[in-house]
Amino acid sequence: MAATAYSVALLGGARLPAAPRSALLPRRSACQLRLQQDAPRLSLLRVKAASEDTSSASADELIEDLKAKWDAVEDKPTVLLYGGGAIVALWLTSVVVGAINAVPLESRKDLASDIETLKKKITGTE
């Protein structure tokens, strides 16, 4: 195995001993050979796709079900208000998490000393 100029420079001019050719080739174990012998049997199993389009039928059923439930709701403005509030709360949560994530972290010792000085200022012992 020839050493490249980069590896020689990286090692400070020292060259590594060449690895024997047999160490570079993968070894075959009995387990691998058994899997290769069983491979033709596994290839006989085939799966055919169904010709019916069940995904559009289930999507239509879902939409019809949602329409029926929406028509059954008596207080629609309240539901819309709760839904809008949930979206605003989710947005606000993502803003807060983003702001917290942007705060640089201090080391534990610096943070502990800052907390201790803040405690002393609050209690008036300093």
* pLDDT for residue 40 is more than 90: no
Q: Are 13 and 7 in contact (CB under 8 A)?
A: no
Average pLDDT taken over every residue of the chain: 75
* 31 vs 47: CA distance, rounded Å: 27
Dihedral sign (CA 26, 32, 38, 44): negative
Q: What is the pLDDT of residues 44-62, one digit of tens each?
A: 666 666 656 566 778 899 9
Q: In sequence order, which ranges of 1-126 are alpha helices (DSSP H)?
A: 5-10, 21-24, 30-43, 54-72, 76-102, 108-123
pTM above 0.85, yes or no: no
Nearest to 117 by CA among 108, 126, 109, 104: 126
pLDDT tens by residue, 21-36: 555 555 555 555 555 5
Q: How far is CA 5 from CA 18, 20, 36, 69, in A?
A: 15, 21, 41, 73
Helix H segments across 46-75?
A: 54-72
Domain ranges of the chain: 72-123
Judged on CB neighbours under 10 Å (0-12, 13-18, 19+), 3 is: middle
